[in-house]
Chain A
């Protein structure tokens, strides 16, 4: 099957040793990949390189066979990221934050108008519902929301973007078991509801090996190197220990 994302010989240097060392990786449409690794193994760096926000020191990242750096700005809409720190816009309300996901296909005047008078409320509400949020909070300020609600707003923004590939950086971090299950189900769902399309290609970094059975493939990172890349069925206790083993 044709890959949608490919990393070839990617290296990222850091102050205290390399953050990524010679990574070769391909992601094909429909894959659901769990990215495992201890803190500092390079998971967030890998996601930042994959979405084009971090340029590797060497190697190349290809999207649909073209270097990611050659993509036109609006073409980047196809790659959606759920950031670990969410990166919500604290000064804006929920609708304006959700609409920020649609900026790739809108012009500057639309962006300015949305700051003055939140636009396309129907689409925002659909995304909020799909993310499991009440539409009553649509005009609430981001600062007024709980941690779980903020997580879901970030997810709603991602759904508004309608990406083909979702890169999720530890989205289950610090969530209670109930919320973990819900967010995971949302990310793994293969549904189309009104304007909301949830694509099935997912790369998600996480620390919960007990949830691996939800994924098709597992990539294990250790000290910036891929040390495991196989079907999730192949991940046993020995492999897990190998991934999380400190140098």
Chain B
């Protein structure tokens, strides 16, 4: 008897069906006048402005963004490690024989993690005014808790036999923990740390788009004034930094695999962090951004119960929540389904390289900017927001798929090629099949990220909870802001639990998942 089998490669391709309704809506809402502007934008890519004033301004913005990202990354990583240790069950069990404090700390840490850095940025802007610390703190708060979660997860899933053996032999708890769990955890942490630096850089750029300084602000201002050539000057400079960072991290990962000793890794990492930190602060000061200046504190007036009830009744919750979920599903479909579909249709070496280049470009432009670009020629809708959010994450998924395939080896693909299978079919069976469980596991995590990021395009695109949040913030309606934050955090945490479940399900069916999958959670 035949039976339908939703095999991993099919599940990797199926999300691409989201393209059908999204493109149908977008194509029907395009207005020709705006298309001219879009062509101008793409045309400007090959002739960016080389005006010294523009280059100087973009260079300054880039330095601010990089320095902000570096400082935020170092502080959040160090704090995250400490909180990760404090929220690891294995640590408490070894030290006091009970694990409830770890559970409690983990629960507390879910709250700052559930709120996107952009929301933190906007909230802190209200609380602290326009201070350089706003962008740094907005990144530090969620990233610290993300690092803590990954670190404690990693500590708790390590093999405990060596630890038990040491404790049995009479070792003290902390020395036993460091000796047994230190060596396996350090390479994982190093790899994850590199990834978080990339995230910090993207985060700092995004915050700039919303007026918190740096290259993001330059990009936003150029786009608003339709100065595409100036915009491309900043974009290419940002691309150079991003690419250098990606390549350096890949190089470090490869070097790390090539048997660098653990002690050396720790020493090199901490030396690098201290060096970067000591450079970052004076660097910002040199750019006339003084972090030592005093911070003003403007507390938010706490709303009354009546105001909260009023806000609860006033907002259209069903519409707001459903549009956020629909946006997440459509953007995730585009991000997850498009890379395998494109690679299957054009699997030659040239095809993959061209696609990689396009993905790199898509990763470069923050979603709110690509949404603004699309809005030049389309009417605002969930579909347009889904394309903007999906395209950015598509860039990330495409890169991950390519890297996974490169690590996987090509024996099955070669076997199918030698049996006469066509290029498309042999890629589908010989390459995607083996890679798809890992890819789907990562896709589950990415969907979780996309859900958090709906707020980013929502702010620009007039859709979902994000849009309502900016409206409420703008009108200083704190009752609405608080309720919206609670709802958003609840949806995010529910999404996180679903994503965790799916991810672990796929990872269980993968004999040897790529290291990166374990880490980017």
Residues of A within 8 A of B (CB): 51-53, 73-81, 83, 85, 87, 89-93, 96, 100-101, 103-108, 111-112, 115-118, 121, 139, 161, 163
**Structural contact, B411 and A87, CB atoms closer than 8 A:** yes
B395-432 CB contact bits vs A (8 Å, 1 = yes)?
00000000000000001101111111111111011100
**Structural contact, B428 and A139, CB atoms closer than 8 A:** no
In the complex, the chain A residue whose C-beta lies closest to that of B423 is A73
CA distance A118 to B3 in the complex (A): 7
CA distance A91 to B7 in the complex (A): 7
User: Given A93-B5, A106-B425, are A53 and B10 also a contact pair (CB < 8 Å)?
Assistant: no
B422-454 contacts to A, CB under 8 A, are 422-426, 428-430, 433-434, 436-437
Highest count of chain B CB atoms <10 Å: which of A91, A112, A118: A91
Q: Does B2 contact A (CB under 8 A)?
A: yes
**Structural contact, B428 and A112, CB atoms closer than 8 A:** yes
**Structural contact, B415 and A53, CB atoms closer than 8 A:** yes
Smallest CB separation, B484 vs chain A (Å): 41
User: Given A91-B434, A115-B10, A118-B5, are A83 and B415 also a contact pair (CB < 8 Å)?
Assistant: yes
CA distance A93 to B429 in the complex (A): 12
**Structural contact, A87 and B415, CB atoms closer than 8 A:** yes
Q: Does B8 contact A (CB under 8 A)?
A: yes
Inside 8 A of A77's CB, which chain B residues have their CB? 419-420
In the A-B complex, list the 7 residue pairs whose CB atoms are closest, starting with the nearest. A104-B420, A77-B420, A103-B421, A76-B420, A111-B425, A87-B415, A53-B418
In the complex, the chain B residue whose C-beta lies closest to that of A52 is B418
Inside 8 A of B7's CB, which chain A residues have their CB? 91-93, 96, 115-116
**Structural contact, A117 and B4, CB atoms closer than 8 A:** yes
In the complex, the chain B residue whose C-beta lies closest to that of A100 is B429
A112 partner, pick from B13, B422, B430, beta carbons under 8 A:
B13
CA distance A91 to B430 in the complex (A): 11
B422 partner, pick from A87, A108, A117, A139, beta carbons under 8 A:
A108
**Structural contact, B417 and A116, CB atoms closer than 8 A:** no
**Structural contact, A116 and B10, CB atoms closer than 8 A:** yes
Q: Does B6 contact A (CB under 8 A)?
A: yes
- Could you write out 9 A-B pairs with CB less than 8 Å apart? A73-B421, A83-B415, A90-B433, A91-B436, A104-B421, A108-B422, A108-B425, A112-B428, A139-B5
B2 partner, pick from A106, A121, A161, A163, beta carbons under 8 A:
A121
A117 partner, pick from B2, B424, B511, beta carbons under 8 A:
B2
In the complex, the chain B residue whose C-beta lies closest to that of A104 is B420
CA distance A76 to B425 in the complex (A): 14
